[in-house]
Every structure is written in C-alpha cells, then in structure tokens.
Structure 1
Amino acid sequence: MVDAPDFPTVAVGIELLRKCLEQAFSAVGCPREESMLIADALIQAELCEVTTHGVFRVPGYLDGLASGRYRTGDHSRIQQTGPASILIDAQNALGYLPAMQALDGAIEVAHELGVGIGGVRNSNEFGRAAYYVEAAAAQGFIALIFGNTLPLLAGPGGTVATHGNNPFAFSAPGEDAPLFDAAWTPRSGGEVGRRRLLGLPLPLEWGYVDSDGQPTTDPAAAQLGVQTAIGGAKGFGISLLVDMLAGTLTGAASGPGVPRDNSEVGTFILVLSPRVLGDFGDAWPSYPSQFGSAAAAVRASGARWPGDRSRAARTANLDRGWVAVATAILERAVDSMTRVSPSAAEPLAVLLKG
C-alpha cells in the first residue's frame, strides 16, 4: 500500500535521502552516531507514511541545532540510578540520541534482570515513538515508551491548556505483535502543522477548536486553540499518566511547567523480557501465535490491527526503493539544508527541478 496524496510529491530514493540527511546533520555538529540515528528515524517515518515525523521535521531540527536552540547528543550525561534503571540528562539535546541511549541501557539491564527502565530529562522531542519500541521488539523484548510535551490539552470542562498530548507507544516480539503509537489529541501537532503547510483543512469531526473555542477546520486557527483529549476524561487521564512517568518521575519539566518551546521534557522507557514472570514467561513462544489469532479476528471484523498500516506501507516503499515526499515539504527541507550544507541539499534540489 502506498497512499495516493492530494498534493504534488517528489519521488526521493531512500538511500539518497539517507545520505543527504546524514550529511546535513553532521554539518550542524552532530556526531556520526547521532546523524545516522536521526536520519534513520526520519526515513523510517517516511517509509511507514507517518510523514508528520519525517522530512517535515528537518527544518526545525537543523535550524534549532545551528542556532544553539538544541545541543547535540554528545552533551548528554548517563547515570546509573539503580540496579534496573538508567537516567540520561540530555542537557537540552534533541531527543533522539538520549532516548536511544536510555533504550539501549534498559535493554542491557533487561537481559540480566528481566526488566529495565530508562529515563531522560532536560530533553526535546524524540520523533516517532514507535521507532524505539520496534527496535526493542526486534531484539526480543516487550517495550513501552512515554514522552511528555508542552501543554496542549485542557482538563475535562476546562478552557486552559495544562498538559501535553503526551505520546506513548508499545510493542512486543513477533510478526503479528501489536505496534501501537498514539498521542491524546485527535491527531498529532505535526499533522496540524503539516496540513497548514500543504493548505489542507482539518476534518471537522476531529474536533479542533480555535482560540474562541469554536469548531474549526483551519489548521492555523487550531494551533491557537486549546484542545480536549480524545476519550474525554479517560484520554486526559492517560495524558496525566504519561506526564507523571516521563516528566515528574525523571525530573523533567511536567504539566503546565513545560516551556512553550517544548524543551526540558522527559522520556520514560520500560523494557521487559518475555520471561520476566517465570512460568508465564516460559510460555512466551505460544504468545506470537496468540497475537496472530487476535490479529486475524480483528482483521476479519474489518478493522486494522495496530501496526498493520505502517508495516504494509514500509514493505511497499522498500520494495520500490523510494518515498513520495510532498513538494512543499521537500522545498522547505532543502532550504534549511542549503543554509547549513549546500552540498547535502544539492541532490534533493535537483529532484525538485525535475
């Protein structure tokens, strides 16, 4: 499956995009490990057609790194806080490398103890949450990741934003294991911004409101409004849980204390061995087949199993070797890349010229 977009796109080769992104992030001071990680995470988002977390993010990241708004990941400090836990002080780095360091540390501990916890504080956004839990699942672990954000949500009956839409994701080993990734507004903030850039309206049923609390389909107006959580009080409660784990527990900013530039945020990662509960864990080999049965029942009902869409999109895009990037998004990314590394931007600029 590859979605047919309602706007002009450019076909960009996967490895060409990877090379250009790595070069651009290296040009703003990222060490090689960080440049490769950010590039891969952005490309995986494009492959999975979660385009809100792909090339669309490049200008903000490059401009932020070049200006000093973000520090590079090599400034992070790693601290072992207990036998099963590790804490990363990101020192205002972009969140990708600190989050991966926390994940790697939690996996290392889980190999020995069956459970590992990774925390990050003083960080910034880390991209698509599913990227990290998929990495853990590929190594045979169950994983959950939680991240808090700047205030976007008002509590039930409220009119003032006090908490973020606070994404969380989980996955497990196995081909049919669920891969779930969600924030607690109708769509991510990136989707609202992407639609604004592309001149696309928001569906009215998504429930966005403007600064006066009136329903709106205008992305620009929605960015000024205060939103309510999906699921009402239940969704807001999940947002509070994520904020408690990712913000309060890690020592990051939390709730209404998160700055408007979305800095000083935190990440909480829980990694579990399928065998952590002894006899129950010993039965894990049967669980992938149980996932398969559950997935088959969901699909037979006409619904999608969590992860179906992104996995199918990734397979299709890998098979053809390129991704379709919206022309307006690629133009904006090329402009930002040109400012930091003209040679990194040039191959993509050539594609834009046709």
Structure 2
Amino acid sequence: MAPQIASTAARIAERLAAGGKILVFGNGGSAACAQHFAAEFTGKLSSDRVPYPAISLTVDTSALTAIANDYGYVEVFARQVRALARPEDVVVGISTSGTSGNVVLAIESARGIGALTVSLTGTVDQLGSEVSLAVPLRETARVQEAHDLVLHELAQVIERVLVPEIIDDRSADRFPFVLTEADLEPYRAWLRSSGQELATTNGVFDLLHEGHRTSIRAARAHGDALVLLINSDESVRRLKGESRPVRSLEERLRDIESIPAVDHVVVMHDDDPRRLLSSLQPDVHCKGAEYSRSPLLEGEVVREGGGRIAYIELLPGHSTTSQVNSMIGVHNDAP
C-alpha cells in the first residue's frame, strides 16, 4: 500500500498547505485511532515542527450524546461534519467493517461540501470516499493495528511534504529497497545522523530456505537496520559454476523482499563484499559460524571502518548446495 499511502499523504498535505484542516472519526477502536491521528498533527510525530489543524470528532461527549439523543446515533459524525467542514478540508472516516452507517453518512456529507474524503477500512470499503485505503485483513484487531501503522505513515509523509527541512528520524527511510552504489554513502550518513547502527551480511541466497531466514533474522538482531549484499548472477556463476544460480537475481530479490528483517539489499557484482563494505562501513558484519575458523577476507575492511564481525550459528541440515545437489540427483534419476 506504500504508493497509495504516499499519494494520499501528498493530497492531504496540499490541503493543509492551503489552509485546510483534518476532521477524523470512527467508532470504538477506530475512535481511538482517530484521536491518535489528530494528536500527531496538533502535537508532533517525532521531530519538532509547527502544529497543524486536525480535529477528532469522537472526543466531544456533549456533542456526541446530544446529537445521538436528538437525531440518532447515525448522525453523530455527519452533523459535526456539516457544521465544521469546508471545501478545503480533509475528512477521514475509519471503519474496520467498511460499512459503519454513521461513517457512511458523514462521508456523504463531506463530499457534498466538497472536502477531500479518505476512508480507512478492512477488506470491504463501502464508505463512499474519494480515496480508499483498504487494508487486506478481516480480523478487527488486526485491521485496527494496521490502521495505526497507515495513519503514522500518513502523518510522517505529510509533515515531510510540508516541512522538507525536518530532521529525518529513525523511521523516515526514504531509500529504495534495492540500494544503488550511489545510495550507499547518503544512506550511511542518514543512519548515523538518526543514531542507528547498521548490520550487514552477504550471500547468494539461492533457493531461499529456513536456514537463510534464520540467519537473516539473527543478523538483524545486531543492528537497527540490516543491509543484505546479494551476488549478481554473473558473480554466482564465477563462484559456483555455470549451473548456478538456480534462480535469477530478480527472483532472488523478490524472495528477500518478503523477509521483514531485511531493510535493503545491494547487488554485489564483485566476487567478495570488501568494496561495498568499505562504503557502507557497517557497525556489525555477520557471517556464518563456519567462517570463524579461518581469517575472514572482509574482516580487515570492516574493522578499518570501525565495525566488528559477528558469527552466526547456522541452522543444522539446511544447505543450499546440498538441496541443489539433491534436486539434480532426483532429476537425473527420473524416467
């Protein structure tokens, strides 16, 4: 959902820059999400900056109870929207079911006024908003947790659009998943300025298996961010022969992108990681425990950059080479 979140944040930021405000609401846990979201603007998310106008329509108990008593609960948000919303505003409705009647009516009122309408829902979205951020989850608790994440990301992108000079905090990673060599020094500089430690590891990561996942998670535990150096197809062939890699670089990158522990990857065209490590200067470079028995080729480069080597115990019985050989053997024996 990252592209949707980023484009929605840009549209909200445009409204705030033009003097608009945010009105946000929902029922139950979504009411808590709403007032949390509003507080990120009147207060701050992480870095100090000017406050922005955002109002949660769930916190005025007098208005809520009076409207519910006089007009019915279905009107509790719509009537406030008709009173407070202007065409330059943003109206955000939150509903885990995506069908809440009072949220639907409020969105309809906001659209009639000309405000930008945004909905946050689960799998179903019947709120009728101009912009829909539908989380592909069904369980209410999981949807609410995802909504908090989405709302935090919206707030973070909005404030960085409005205040470009704001200091990037730990969660403001603006870099692509696959880092180019030109990205390495600025990425490392951002990690340092935001007080984060970098862990790295490297390998082919062909036929991704549980052994890989275990070692990657262990490497991630050594830093605030993990950058994985993955051999290019040409590099793999030079190191392991023409039969490897079994899967192309594009396929291996897709595999690795599915692992939450990996923050970024760098494609390694060299046969060893020393040149890239000299640019990244990791605080910790992680290798399998089998490398501890002999001098490590990249050890000197890591130590020169102020880092250290950490050795990771591998998961027994999981070897890509043995799995590949087993597959080839089965293939050769097949009729």
Same fold (TM over 0.5): no
Q: Which has the higher contact order (CA 8 A, sep 6+)?
A: 1
Please say which structure displays the higher CA radius of gyration: 2
- TM-score interval, smaller chain: under 0.3
